[in-house]
Amino acid sequence: MPSQALLPVLLLCALLLQAQAGHRSHSRKRMQKMELFPEIKVCKKRPAFYLCKHLCESHRDCQANNVCCSTFCGNVCLSTL
């Protein structure tokens, strides 16, 4: 009788280990994605109104030496210089 109960317990342990390993790889992918798209922060200076027409979703949407930051009119690209 104890040997019959051992097999389902081992199977359950194997399934739990696989599920946990899958969760780790999923969280690792999420961390890599977060590194590709850094957090959009609040702008240090107020943008000109004409910049509010050109919204961005990430830093990749902006030209060189510009960052995507949050303002009163949404996320816009502002110069870092």
Residues 31-42 pLDDT 10s: 555 555 578 899
- How far are the Cα atoms of 38, 59, 60 from residue 28, in angstroms, in the given order? 16, 22, 22
Question: Full-prediction pTM beyond 0.75?
Answer: no
Q: pLDDT tens digit string along 53-79?
A: 889 999 999 999 999 999 999 999 999
> 65 phi and psi, to 5 degrees?
65, 20
Decide if 49 contacts 70 (C-beta within 8 A). Answer: no
Q: Are 68 and 38 in contact (CB under 8 A)?
A: no
Alpha carbons 41 and 12: distance in angstroms, whole number:
45
